[in-house]
Amino acid sequence: MEFESHHATALRVDAPGTSLPPPEARSRFSQRQATPPRVKSSGMKMVIALLLGLFAVTLRAQLPPVSPKAAGFDPERLKFLHQTTRRFVDEKLYAGLITLLARDGRLVDFQACGLRDVERQLPMQRDTICRVYSMSKIITCVAALILFEEGRFNLDDPVSNYLPEMKEMKVWAGGTADAPQLEPLKRPITIKHLLTHTSGLIYDFAGENELTKLWRRADLWNAPDLTKFIARLAKLPLKHQPGDAYTYGVNQDVLGALVERVSGLRFGAFLQARIFSPLRMTDTGFDMPAEKLSRLARTYKRTPEGRFIEAEPILETWPEPGRGIEAGGSGLFSTAGDFARFAQMLCNGGTLEGQRILGRKTVELMTANHLVTLPEKERADRAKGFGLGVEVVTDLGRLATPASVGQFGWYGAATTYCQVDPKERLVALAFAQHFPFNEHGFFARFQTGYYQALR
């Protein structure tokens, strides 16, 4: 099994998964770079230049390193986490895994093991590009909150003020896909309903009930752009009245269309200008250029015999430009290193390395539990609360894994995980590329593994 490990105490230049040196090593490296040795061969000079350039790019793209001990982790107890990760790959539960821990804005532990491409036996590496699916939602909600901070709208504004196509939507009251029974809205869908998944919008990729069948006929994911996506969506009924319940659905895809309409920029261009470029998330986007496709992990599922076979993407999430819409709920590709920078920004209260993306008080609002507004019967059985695009830990007694009150994050359908713990100043990421979601229960073991290693 391939296993690529990073601790901040070792300098390795092993492209493409280059790890980071400690500060003193970086200083020595800079001196060597300033006065390189004489090399007779022009070919050798090109190789050295390429390696130095690659190292510089990697250094810019990742959080700065720190040793586990200096960050407050017990290195010996971290080995339990590493053993767990290896076991999930060795036992062929997942083809490959990437895990990352950061504390106080510094990279503590960065592991990659297994394969990103089983057929070609290509290893999973720290710079492997993955489909993050619903972890796209956190980024989309931040984009919407940027415009909220700029006074472009209020959270309790009706969505139809900006997407008038949605003004006359109806609510499912029964019947069949061919003969639906509908009722009018009792209240408009607001922007906050979208952020909290309380609008009544659903997903169409799972289930065979009559409402889901009706939604599936609309062929939302093959719309040519977000404007056409909204036009198709607006003809479909909601599952329930806005604000009456939490229902996971296409809310952030609508938010992406809202951002596009309000900002005047294509949604992907807005994300690039306002989030990805400032945070130096160089490998994140809705499309992947041809030169990066070799780093893209394939998504796998297991046969009953335990063999890995490639799984078709859900929701038309393709890396090639022009295939699929810029889906704010599921469409982004990223690396663990890139997403760590985004998560660290949120952990810092909206800023990273001098780039402020959101105000501190907006992050507080984002990570509060907004489901307190739901009827008691709708929230009584929930183990966690939900904020503006993120789940939120509100009561440790409802959980079966270590955590902190105020911890927040979300997940992706291909078994990706993001949790931010402001109390412990901790960011934790895990990227597999596996369907079905979190099969074999890795996330709970991962979370237990990194928390038990804290001193």
Residue 46 sits in which domain range? 9-61
CA distance 184 to 86: 53
Does residue 314 lie within any of the structural domains? yes
Q: How many other C-beta atoms are found inside a 10 Å radius of the C-beta of residue 42?
A: 8
For residues 112 and 182, state if they share a domain.
no
Measure the CA dihedral 344/348/352/354, to 10°: -170
Q: How many other C-beta atoms are found inside a 10 Å radius of the C-beta of residue 139?
A: 22
For residues 38 and 15, state if they share a domain.
yes
For residues 243 and 350, state if they share a domain.
no
Helix (H) or strand (E) holding 443: helix 442-452
Tokens of 102: 């950061």
What's residue 200's pLDDT?
A: 98
AA identity, residue 110: F
pLDDT in tens, 223-278: 999 999 999 999 999 999 999 999 999 999 999 999 999 999 999 999 999 999 99
185 versus 10: the higher-pLDDT residue is: 185
For residues 179 and 258, state if they share a domain.
yes
For residues 131 and 162, state if they share a domain.
no
pLDDT in tens, 377-429: 777 678 899 999 999 999 999 999 999 999 999 999 999 999 999 999 999 99
Does residue 70 lie within any of the structural domains? no
Weakest mean pLDDT among 60-64, 223-227, 283-287, 354-358:
60-64
Task: Supply the CATH number for residue 311's domain.
Answer: 3.40.710.10
HEC string for 257-326: HHHHHHHCCCHHHHHHHHHHHHHCCCCCECCCCHHHHHHECCCEEECCCCCEEECCCCCCCCCCCCCCCC
Residue 187: pLDDT band by 50, 70, 90 thresholds?
A: very high
For residues 244 and 289, state if they share a domain.
no
CA distance 189 to 171: 11
Distances (CA, A) of 73 to 123, 135, 362, 422: 27, 26, 30, 16
Tokens of 325: 């819409």
Helix (H) or strand (E) holding 103: strand 96-103
Contact assessment for residue 335 and residue 358, using Cβ atoms and an 8 Å cutoff? no
AA identity, residue 448: T
For residues 313 and 406, state if they share a domain.
yes
Residue range 369-378: mean pLDDT, rounded: 87
Residue range 180-208: mean pLDDT, rounded: 95
Does residue 321 lie within any of the structural domains? yes
Tokens of 371: 């489901």
pLDDT in tens, 155-169: 999 999 999 999 999
Q: What is the mean pLDDT of the chain?
A: 89
For residues 346 and 425, state if they share a domain.
yes
Tokens of 100: 């990352």
For residues 281 and 232, state if they share a domain.
no
The rounded radius of gyration (Å) of the Cα atoms in the chain is 23
pTM of the entire structure?
A: 0.88
Q: Which of 263, 294, 314 is the last residue of a domain?
A: 263
Q: Over 90: is that where the pLDDT of 433 sits?
A: yes
For the chain, the domain total comes to 3
AA identity, residue 374: L
What's residue 12's pLDDT?
A: 30
Does residue 69 lie within any of the structural domains? no
Does residue 177 lie within any of the structural domains? yes
Smallest Cα–Cα separation from 12: which of 21, 4, 1?
A: 21
Does residue 81 lie within any of the structural domains? yes
Does residue 291 lie within any of the structural domains? yes
For residues 373 and 434, state if they share a domain.
yes
Grouping H, G, I as helix, E, B as strand and the rest as coil, residue 170 is strand
For residues 426 and 350, state if they share a domain.
yes
Number of C-alpha atoms within 13 angstroms, CB side, residue 153? Answer: 23
For residues 351 and 376, state if they share a domain.
yes
Does residue 66 lie within any of the structural domains? no
